[in-house]
Amino acid sequence: MGTRTAQFLVRELENRFVPAVRNCAGISELKKVHAHVVKLSLSQSNFVITKMLDCCDKFGDVNYATLLFEQIVEPNVFSYNAIIRTLTHNQEHYLAIRVFKRILMREERFSDKVPIFPNEFTFPFVIKSCSVLLWRCLGEEIHGQVWKFGLKSNSVTENALIDMYTKFGDLRNAHKVFEEMTEPDAVSWNGLIFGYARLGQMESARVLFDEMPCRTIVSWTAMITGYCRIGCYGDALDIFRRMQMVGIEPDEVSVIAVLPACAQLGALEVGKWIHMYSGRNGFLQNTGVCNTLVEMYAKCGCIDEAMSLFDQMVEKDVISWSTMIGGLANHGKAHASIELFQKMQKAKVTPNGITFLGVLSACTHAGLWNEGLKYFDVLRVEYHIAPEIEHYGCLVDLLGRSGQLEQALDAISKMPMKPDSRIWNSLLSSCRIHRNLEIAVVAMEHLLEQEPEESGNYVLLANIYAELGKWESVSNVRKLIRSKGIKKTPGCSMIEVENVVQEFVSGDDSKPFSRDVFWTLEVLVLHQTRTNDLMEDVIEDASQF
């Protein structure tokens, strides 16, 4: 049999196996096909093994994929790419990089073999592994390899490099890769915008966004997410509205991104519209969308709506339960919150640290300090969750409000981390409630060290002295405030009118409608005064009969 004839027969056999491999419904069927491959002496066929590796990638079986690859004596670049892709997709990033290094070392180890060079399908997955592992030095080295093999003009590889550098926080190099691209596509623009947004540099992100020739839903969502991350919720809502004005309809990701802004601003009408829109478009099958809607309703004061949506959810994850438990606790429905936690345990859903924050908060609002101590132990002993500073803050608040001030101070002394100002402030507030000057002074000493310019701490201490009748001490605290030049942080409030959130800050009259607001307030005060006078006259007349 001639060489050409033999090669033709091998190709025919290989082509016969490709449909069989593609039609495998599971790894067990793939193993049956593999048995036939071995029987017909095709186990060294890079073509067949590469297709089988793609199948392993689809089924997520890394171990079997590794066994298939290792049996090839002379793998080609396509086999290498297939195993690297499989490892990367299945989060085996360290192994993916090791396989890549074998390509580079092949020429040194096998001088008598034909060298194998990585191609445009090799680098994107290796670069992704470097970005996930945050291996900056290796990432820069691989960037050099991209130049060495003449692949710097491949858009997929360049986009992977932009993503890698943004994850390293290296926006200078990310921008450099972007500027060197011949024709940056939407993925390139979005990758760089996401990078700036991830680091909170929204001014730079906005410049890129405004310059972008063709924005996609991903571009708009990146901006919404970025603004929410830095607390610019009004800007996030503005971007969301502009997105709809240009004809781009929100998807599930953009809805999840914007709802926290609605929650923080109390933009209930926008939140309700998103709820209806999500229902019309089938988004309520998405647990993430439902979770953010439940949180939005809870934070906007609509706890009944939040509970109704929670009850309608087909699938509830730990975030669903935790959000609802915390929402009930924050609305003073402590017993309902604790009951829901018990239902969660019966449903065999494992709670996390955030779940217990809600439970401890519920115990605090209900004054159930014994139950709070029990759940704090359940957190550590039963679920093996290491308490974080927020959990200790809840515990101190719980004990302090219940009058267990000595026990609260003892809990602070046993914390494995340094107590922050919120914990000492919580203790100080409890001291005011229970008029405990001795522990208040201890708390104040720590607060003066951590927040020497915070006016609220001095006001709390002065109030404690006042309630104990220590007016000289009150005077000394006020003198201390004046001598330090400390100014009280002005209060603020927000209200939503015709889908626009307006913020009012104490002492700020810069808004164009401020005079109308102040005039309306004067009218209301005058009306209330006259009403009170009238009621007094009525009561006086009634007393004469």
pLDDT digits (tens, 9 = 90+) for 324-362: 999 999 999 999 999 999 999 999 999 999 999 999 999
As a whole number of angstroms, the distance between CA 129 and CA 152 comes to 18
DSSP-assigned states of every residue in 388-447:
-HHHHHHHHHHHHHTT-HHHHHHHHHT-SS---HHHHHHHHHHHHHHT-HHHHHHHHHHH
For the chain, give the longest Cα–Cα distance: 129
- 439 versus 478: which is more confidently predicted? 439
pLDDT at residue 2, as a whole number: 47
Q: What is the mean pLDDT of the chain?
A: 85
For domain 390-491, the CATH architecture is Alpha Horseshoe (1.25)
Give pTM, 2 decimals.
0.77
Give the CB-side neighbour count of residue 408, counting CA atoms within 13 A: 31
Banded pLDDT at 536 (limits 50, 70, 90): low
Residue 480 has pLDDT above 70, yes or no: no
pLDDT at residue 250, as a whole number: 95
Distance between first and last Cα of the chain: 129
Banded pLDDT at 538 (limits 50, 70, 90): very low
As a whole number of angstroms, the distance between CA 169 and CA 148 comes to 25
Banded pLDDT at 114 (limits 50, 70, 90): low
Q: What is the mean pLDDT of residues 137-150?
A: 89
Closest by CA to 165, choosing from 187, 144, 143, is 143
pLDDT at residue 85, as a whole number: 94
- 176 versus 116: which is more confidently predicted? 176
Closest by CA to 254, choosing from 212, 288, 208, 280, is 288
Q: At what angle do helices 27-39 and 46-59 cross, to 10 degrees?
A: 170
Element (H, E) at 518: helix 514-543
Residue 410 has pLDDT above 90, yes or no: yes
Question: Other C-beta atoms within 10 Å of 288: how many?
Answer: 16
Domain ranges in the chain are 316-386, 390-491, 494-537
Give residue-wise pLDDT tens across range 15-29: 776 777 777 888 888
Element (H, E) at 497: strand 492-497
Buried b vs exposed e over 91-126: b needs ≥16 C-beta within 10 Å? ebbebbbebbeebeebeeeeeeeeebebebbbbbbb
- CB-based burial label for 411 (10 Å; 0-12, 13-18, 19+): buried
As a whole number of angstroms, the distance between CA 545 and CA 528 comes to 27
Which amino acid makes up residue 230?
I
The alpha carbon dihedral of 398, 399, 401, 402 has a sign of positive
- 315 versus 433: which is more confidently predicted? 315
Element (H, E) at 309: helix 303-312
As a whole number of angstroms, the distance between CA 395 and CA 250 comes to 41
- 506 versus 272: which is more confidently predicted? 272
As a whole number of angstroms, the distance between CA 222 and CA 254 comes to 9
Q: What is the DSSP letter of 114?
A: P
* Token duo for residue 354: 């955030």
Give residue-wise pLDDT tens across range 219-264: 999 999 999 999 999 999 999 999 999 999 999 999 999 999 999 9
